[in-house]
């Protein structure tokens, strides 16, 4: 009976760790989507109200591009961290490189 209880506690702990991993992935994805939507709206409004401006010299466009780049870099860093935690939890070799990006 004690063995079964220990096994159930271990399963519960592993399920909690897996839930944490997916929560981190979702939060990272949600933040990236939010930043992308904000930048897209900003660019659409800029184009709608001022089509004559050259995009290359427009500070709003440059800020939007930088914002998207920063969000993407942050998302990739969070993805790497979450993947490392997941591999550690499931005892997968951290040396092995992923062939695909998760996000």
Examine residue 97 and state whether it is found in any structural domain, yes or no. Answer: no
Examine residue 103 and state whether it is found in any structural domain, yes or no. Answer: no
Examine residue 101 and state whether it is found in any structural domain, yes or no. Answer: no
| Count of structural domains, the chain | 1
Count of Cβ atoms closer than 10 Å to residue 75 Cβ:
21
**Model confidence over 22-80: pLDDT tens digits?**
898 889 888 888 888 888 788 777 766 666 655 666 787 778 878 888 888 888 888 88
**Model confidence over 28-43: pLDDT tens digits?**
888 888 888 888 788 7
pLDDT at 10 over 80: yes
pLDDT at 81 over 70: yes
Q: What is the pLDDT of residue 12?
A: 94
Count of Cβ atoms closer than 10 Å to residue 98 Cβ:
10
Instruction: Tell me, rounded to whole angstroms, the distance of Cα 59 from its chain centroid.
Output: 26
Q: Which domain holds residue 51?
A: 2-87
Q: What is the pTM of this model?
A: 0.57
């Amino acid at each position: 009976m004690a063995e079964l209880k220990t096994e159930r506690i271990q399963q519960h702990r592993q399920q909690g760790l897996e839930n944490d991993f997916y929560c981190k992935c979702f939060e990272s994805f949600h933040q990236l989507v939010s930043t992308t939507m904000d930048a897209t709206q900003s660019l659409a409004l800029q184009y709608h109200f001022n089509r004559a401006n050259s995009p290359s010299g427009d500070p709003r466009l440059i800020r939007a591009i930088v914002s998207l780049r920063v969000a993407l870099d942050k998302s990739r860093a969070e993805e790497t961290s979450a993947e490392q935690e997941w591999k550690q939890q499931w005892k997968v070799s951290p040396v092995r490189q992923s062939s695909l990006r998760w996000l």
